Amino acid sequence: LGRGQRIKANVELGKNRHSYELGFYEPYIEKGGTSLGVNLYRRVRDVSKKIEGSEDKLKGSLTIDGGDLTLGRPLGDFSRGRLTFKMTNNKYKLDSEADPADFYGDYKNRTIGFGINTNTVDHPMYPTEGFKNDAYVEAGVLLESAENNKYAKLRLEHSRFYEIKDGGYVLALRAMGGRLLGQDLPENEKFVIGGAETLRGYSLGANSSLKGNQMLVMNAEFRFPIVDKVTGVVFSDFGKAWDNGMVTLDDFNNSFGLGVRLDTPLGLLRLDYGFGRDEERDLKGQFYFGIGQTF
């Protein structure tokens, strides 16, 4: 938008989940450079849990309604600090044989987080050189659960951009990792990867290798011009989430795909089609739509 304001919208429709997210960013709410960001979202996904001593499973769905508010301030020429307040309400809708307590129970999550990011790229939407770093730590408490459990999360992210050829032929790379510290936490508070933002070709948290107390994701995109205001993308994503212990490269999920970026008055529209593998290791594809670059 004209004053550097940004609108973000993401929609994901899958077989076992769907999500909607809307965000707004105002870079200058006062002359000192304080920024304001607001996000609202709803995420609905199927849940299941094996019944002890039986081959049957408890089934239902989990709805997460939430939002966050972020205040940011400049820290030098290329860095900014930010303070984030987040609230989510987590509610289960289960079949007649299940009790929400079997899945942890309905609960509310309240968190506060602090982060620092550094950005040296030459263009906000079409970077050809430079890098972006982000470090974020979050402390939270779960309310109305069996216990008011406390936890902490740490997340690190680094992106770098290289112009391979004049005219907008760019190699974009990203690596991100995270660690969750806490005990007796619900599955929903663990790191979850997959979907439009991290591991295209896999639904968000669709299997046990996509959620855990630790996560590592790597992305590579080759971006190239097609016609005026239309850019193509070839991408490959690589990632895994796990609870404890060591992992090897063979344990990671990988995907690849194609995408287009359309420069419109509403912002940069993103459409990707990613290929991942199902539990039988067969290739499967999925569309993703969003606003702005993936990273």
**pLDDT tens, position by position, 90-132:** 998 877 666 666 666 788 999 999 999 999 999 999 999 999 9
Q: By CB neighbour count within 10 A (0-12 exposed, 13-18 middle, 19+ buried), where does 235 fall?
A: buried
149/79 Cα distance (integer angstroms): 33
179/194 Cα distance (integer angstroms): 17
163/158 Cα distance (integer angstroms): 17
Tell me, what's the pLDDT at 295?
Answer: 95
Tell me, what's the pLDDT at 136?
Answer: 98
236/261 Cα distance (integer angstroms): 16
Q: List the structure tokens of 119.
A: 């950005």
In the chain, which residues have pLDDT < 50? none
| pLDDT tens readout for residues 236-252 | 999 999 998 888 888 89
74/10 Cα distance (integer angstroms): 27
The sign of the CA dihedral 186, 187, 192, 194 is negative
Q: List the structure tokens of 282.
A: 């067969």
CA end-to-end span of the chain: 19
List the beta bridge partners of residue 79: 118
Tell me, what's the pLDDT at 17?
Answer: 79
Tell me, what's the pLDDT at 92?
Answer: 87
* Domain positions in the chain: 6-291
Tell me, what's the pLDDT at 9?
Answer: 87
Tell me, what's the pLDDT at 53?
Answer: 66
Tell me, what's the pLDDT at 141?
Answer: 92
HEC per residue, the chain: CCCCCEEEEEEEECCCEEEEEEEEEECCCCCCCCEEEEEEEEEEEEEEEECCCCCCEEEEEEEEEEEEEEEEEECCCCEEEEEEEEEEEEEEEECCCCCHHHHCCCEEEEEEEEEEEEECCCCCCCCCEEEEEEEEEEEEEEECCCCCCEEEEEEEEEEEEEEEECCCEEEEEEEEEEEEECCCCCHHHCEECCCCCCCCCCCCCCCCCEEECEEEEEEEEEEEEEECCEEEEEEEEEEEEECCCCCCHHHCEEEEEEEEEEEECCEEEEEEEEEEECCCCCEEEEEEEEECCCC
The fold adopted by the segment(s) 6-291 is: Porin (2.40.160)
